[in-house]
């Protein structure tokens, strides 16, 4: 029996995936999106609601498997539309802080595309779902009946009009991304939120779109020069996207943040000390201005740890946890949260589990976030001076450095590392006794 109405706040990555899952359980699903430009068609779009799409966006292998599960056939559509496929060993020239990773044929492959393009394909699918409607408007307020801890109404300001509207909801899903104000709203409503965990960094991105003259460049299709606190302050990612173009995203730490001025951008790019990169640049012609992103901090709202949580509301995607994009995990983590929603939704309609369903769901979200949060923040914590770091973390940093060193020399370790980075395996695979022994032996021999 389908419940009545679910309302998703935000038509971004998490919001669209959640709507597809909710449409199987609710009679109506309404998505509220602040910016009407979501219906624009690429390549000319600039979606105001997702300014991060002006930067390179990699959807990891696990993320690609999941999106194809929620939206069957979307990868075939992407392939038919000539988005390049990347073999993460054969086609990726990756200069790590410990050497260049080996290139060989592997089965870790993903399609490469811009975030705009992906959203465009996703919205087309959403519009085909007969019980899902997108309303363009700004979410103003969430409320419920007086003296009740249930939220069941969303007040919105309808776009391009002076009108507001109150919409009833059996379930509200906040997927408003990093600009969500849900923490403040919960506090106003009397639900005390915990102090958010914040791990800052000094990273800055600057990105520009280029025309790719030779898509079949033989040496590699994707280029990554990694930055590392205390080792190398300047790096770059070059990822091909649809329509024979590529994103060039410059990355800088501290005072080495990349600039917005096009000439200075070009100077930064051409000063990076790798002859393979400089040769590759001959295939690229700039098409756009430079976009900057300076706020790349990690924020975890820890809603799962709240003593009381309103019935009728869940929070997913960047609205619950923002990760520094250094490992490109954001969209894949959002998809994993939507998978959790899919698996848990039947419990919402079960009398035994319905009462505490939302609170339990939020606890499960926090559990799911444990691994990606510790992976990403461990990287940012390297910027702290060594004496400020707990001993356990310092040992972890040393162990992971030893893994990276070995991965630059050993194909099997590189495959394992790539599988972990693509969220196909958990980082716990590195703690199997055989792996620890292999890493330590290589580390000791390398030192002697
Ligand atoms: C520079 C940068 C690079 C990144 N690179 C990668 C990468 O390579 N790979 C990766 O997986 N992730 C990457 N990410 C992270 C990724 O962009 C996010 O994790 C992902 O977009 C989260 O999806 P979401 O649906 O939660 O939020 P979003 O996709 O940001 O969507 C939020 C939506 O909510 C709407 N909204 C906001 N407020 C309101 C309101 N009041 N009313 C109505 N609608 C509203 C917005 O308009 C928007 O459409 C990157 C992030 C940044 C900043």
Give residue-wise pLDDT tens across range 158-175. Answer: 998 999 999 999 999 999
3-class SS of residue 55: coil
Q: Cβ atoms within 10 A of the Cβ of 194, count?
A: 14
For residue 370 the two structure tokens come to 């444990």
User: What is the dihedral sign for C-alpha 219, 224, 227, 233?
Assistant: positive
Calpha distance 384→167 (Å, rounded): 47
**Which residue's CA is the closest to the ligand 1 atom numbered 46?**
49
Provide the whole-model pTM.
0.96
The pLDDT, as a whole number, for residue 411 is 97
pLDDT of the residue at 383: 74
Instruction: Report the nearest-CA residue for atom 53 of ligand 1.
Output: 52
Instruction: Name which residue sits closest to atom 23 of ligand 1, judged by CA.
Output: 13
Dist CA 296 CA 204 (whole Å): 7
Give the Cα separation of 427 and 423 in Å (integer).
9
- Name the stretches of the chain with pLDDT < 50: 1
Distance CA 155, CA 176 (A): 15
Distance (Å) from CA 53 to ligand 1 centroid: 8
- Convert the pLDDT of each residue in 187-213 to its tens digit: 999 999 999 999 999 999 999 999 998
Exposure string of 275-309, with b = 16+ CB inside 10 Å and e = fewer, is eebeebbeebeeebebbbbeebbbbbbbbbebeeb
State in Å: Cα 18 to ligand 1 middle.
14
pLDDT at residue 387, rounded to an integer:
64
Look at residue 384 in the predicted model and tell me its pLDDT: 66
Lookup result for tokens 């104000």: 181
CA of 13 to the centre of ligand 1 (A): 7
Report which of 70, 54, 22, 26 is spatially closest to residue 335, judged by C-alpha positions: 70
Which residue from 49, 123, 250 has its CB within 8 A of the most atoms of ligand 1, so it is best to mutate?
49
CA of 282 to the centre of ligand 1 (A): 32
Report whether 299 contacts 196 (CB < 8 A). Answer: yes
Ligand 1 pocket residues where CB is under 6 Å: 9-15, 32-35, 49-50, 52, 55-59, 138-139, 175-177, 179, 205, 293, 317-319, 325, 328-332, 334
Alpha carbon of 283 to ligand 1 centroid (Å): 31
**pLDDT (0 to 100) of residue 314:** 98
SS3 for 173? strand
Which atom in ligand 1 lies closest to the alpha carbon of residue 293? 1
Å from CA of 271 to ligand 1 middle: 31
In this structure, is the dihedral angle defined by the CA atoms of residues 354, 358, 363 and 366, taken in order, positive or negative?
Answer: positive
Token pair for residue 195? 């102090």
User: Which H helix or E strand runs over 61?
Assistant: helix 61-70
Cα 177 to averaged position of ligand 1 atoms, centre (Å):
5
Distance (Å, whole) CA 230 – CA 27: 55
In the numeric block, the tokens 């309303």 are attached to 135
Residues recorded for the chain: 448
Helix, coil or strand: residue 1: coil
At residue 1, the pLDDT reads 45
**Residue holding tokens 């991965």?**
407
Residue 212 has a pLDDT of 92
């Amino acid at each position: 029996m389908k419940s009545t109405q679910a309302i998703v706040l935000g038509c971004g990555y998490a919001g669209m995936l959640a709507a597809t899952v909710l449409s199987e359980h609710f009679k109506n699903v309404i998505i509220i999106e602040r910016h009407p430009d979501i219906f624009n068609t690429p390549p000319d779009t600039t979606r105001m609601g997702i300014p991060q799409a002006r930067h390179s966006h990699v959807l990891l292998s696990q993320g690609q498997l999941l999106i194809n599960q929620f939206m069957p056939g979307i990868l075939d559509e992407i392939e038919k539309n000539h988005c390049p496929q990347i073999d993460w060993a054969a086609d990726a020239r990756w200069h790590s802080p410990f050497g260049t990773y080996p290139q060989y044929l592997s089965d870790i492959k993903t399609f490469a595309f811009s975030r705009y393009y992906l959203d465009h394909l996703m919205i087309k699918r959403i519009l085909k779902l007969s019980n899902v409607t997108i309303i363009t408007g700004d979410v103003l307020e969430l409320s419920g009946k007086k003296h009740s801890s249930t939220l069941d109404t969303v007040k919105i300001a309808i776009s391009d009009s002076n009108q507001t509207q109150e919409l009833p909801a059996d379930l509200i899903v906040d997927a408003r991304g990093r600009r969500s104000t849900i923490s403040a709203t919960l506090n106003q409503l009397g639900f005390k939120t915990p102090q958010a965990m914040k791990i800052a960094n000094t990273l800055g991105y600057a990105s520009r779109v280029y025309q790719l003259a030779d898509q079949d460049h033989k040496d590699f299709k994707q280029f990554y020069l990694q930055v590392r606190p205390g080792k190398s302050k300047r790096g770059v990612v070059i990822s091909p996207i649809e329509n024979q173009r590529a994103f060039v995203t410059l990355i800088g730490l501290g005072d080495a943040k990349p600039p917005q001025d096009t000439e200075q951008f070009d100077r930064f790019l051409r000063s990076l000390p790798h002859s393979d990169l400089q040769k590759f640049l001959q295939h690229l012609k700039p098409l756009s201005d430079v976009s900057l992103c300076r706020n790349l901090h990690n924020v975890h709202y820890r809603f799962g740890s709240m003593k009381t949580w309103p019935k009728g509301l869940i929070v997913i995607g960047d609205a619950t946890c923002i990760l520094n994009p250094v490992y490109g995990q954001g969209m894949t983590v959002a998809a994993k949260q939507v998978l959790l929603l899919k698996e848990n939704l039947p419990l919402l309609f079960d009398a035994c589990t319905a009462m505490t369903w939302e609170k339990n769901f939020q606890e499960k979200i926090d559990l799911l976030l444990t691994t990606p949060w510790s992976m990403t923040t461990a990287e940012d914590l390297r910027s702290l001076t060594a004496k400020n770091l707990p001993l356990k973390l310092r040992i972890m940093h040393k162990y992971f450095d030893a893994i990276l060193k070995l991965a630059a020399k050993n194909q099997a370790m590189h495959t394992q590392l790539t599988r972990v980075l693509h969220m196909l395996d958990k980082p716990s695979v590195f703690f199997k006794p055989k792996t620890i022994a292999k890493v330590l032996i290589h580390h000791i021999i390398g030192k002697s």
